[in-house]
Amino acid sequence: SQQGEEDPQALSIQEGENATMNCSYKTSINNLQWYRQNSGRGLVHLILIRSNEREKHSGRLRVTLDTSKKSSSLLITASRAADTASYFCATAARSGAGSYQLTFGKGTKLSVIP
Amino acid sequence: GAGVSQSPSNKVTEKGKDVELRCDPISGHTALYWYRQRLGQGLEFLIYFQGNSAPDKSGLPSDRFSAERTGESVSTLTIQRTQQEDSAVYLCASSLVLGGEKLFFGSGTQLSVL
């Protein structure tokens, strides 16, 4: 079942602008992660924020987490054409089998126009 | 190895045939995951291995799907009697520890069932 849902599904911006993507989820989580995927193949981990954290930065990336609203946002500042990719949020939560599962959303497709 | 390695990169098969997909995780990573990604969709969890514990098979879509892992090394995902709806990219990922931590992904196997 889908845990994380990204919004918007697609986003097109000019180079230099900021890009904001949102993720909503349904159950209690241990952490929330953002990944990037180029050309429909392997994903690359960008940033992890734990349930007791509210904001985290990494270079041009800023992630916020609001556990009361069960939502997160990823902000990419001063976007570049090379940032064009699909971005996925993934939530880590206990599965029925007792282990932690990472559940991915459907992603936001970001296009940065030079 | 330096990263997660998957083989083959691409596989074309006829409906009804069996296929075997291979994943070599990063050395020392105790957790290994398999995901399926249909075109333009998010990642669908299939199965999870953690050390010598029983695997979490809760995501396998049917009994045609099975996976094995030898200790903390190579894993194989087998799909028997393939159907056209099995066409997708199959992604393998590994992580250092249990607990929904950062995943390192392979480049995936693109499976096409004709």
pLDDT given for residue B20 in this prediction: 98
Residue for token pair 């939530």: A91
Distance from CA of B24 to the nearest CA of A (A): 14
pLDDT given for residue A80 in this prediction: 97
Tell me the per-residue pLDDT of A20-63, one tens digit each, with 9 for 90 and over. 999 999 989 999 999 999 986 789 999 999 999 999 999 999 99
Which residues does chain B have within 8 Å of residue A106's beta carbon, measured at their own beta carbons?
Answer: 41-42
- Residues A54, A55, A56, A60: what is their CA dihedral angle, to the nearest 10 degrees? 160
Residues B105, A44: C-beta atoms closer than 8 Å:
yes
For residue B58, give the chain A residue with the closest CA: A97
The residue among B78, B37, B88, B81 whose CA lies nearest residue B57 is B78
CA distance A74 to A83: 13
Tell me the per-residue pLDDT of A54-96, one tens digit each, with 9 for 90 and over. 999 999 999 999 999 999 999 999 999 999 999 999 998 877 6
Which residues does chain A have within 8 Å of residue B2's beta carbon, measured at their own beta carbons?
Answer: none
Tokens of B54: 């029983």
Residue A17: other Cβ atoms inside 10 A? 12
Tokens of B100: 């929904």
Q: Say if residue A1's pLDDT is above 50.
A: no
Q: What angle do CA B45, A1, B30 make, to 5 degrees?
A: 30
CA distance A34 to B96: 18
pLDDT given for residue B51 in this prediction: 81
Residues A40, B89: C-beta atoms closer than 8 Å:
yes
Q: What angle do CA B61, B63, B67 make, to 5 degrees?
A: 85
Tell me the per-residue pLDDT of B40-68, one tens digit each, with 9 for 90 and over. 888 999 998 988 888 889 899 999 999 99
Which residues does chain B have within 8 Å of residue A23's beta carbon, measured at their own beta carbons?
Answer: none
Q: Are B60 and B1 in contact (CB under 8 A)?
A: no
Which residues does chain B have within 8 Å of residue A105's beta carbon, measured at their own beta carbons?
Answer: 42
Domains and CATH numbers, chain A: 5-113 (2.60.40.10)
Q: Say if residue B98's pLDDT is above 70.
A: no
Domains and CATH numbers, chain B: 17-96 (2.60.40.10)
Q: What angle do CA B59, B13, A41 make, to 5 degrees?
A: 55
pLDDT given for residue A41 in this prediction: 78
CA distance A100 to A84: 30
Say which of B41, B42, B48 has its CB closest to residue A101: B48
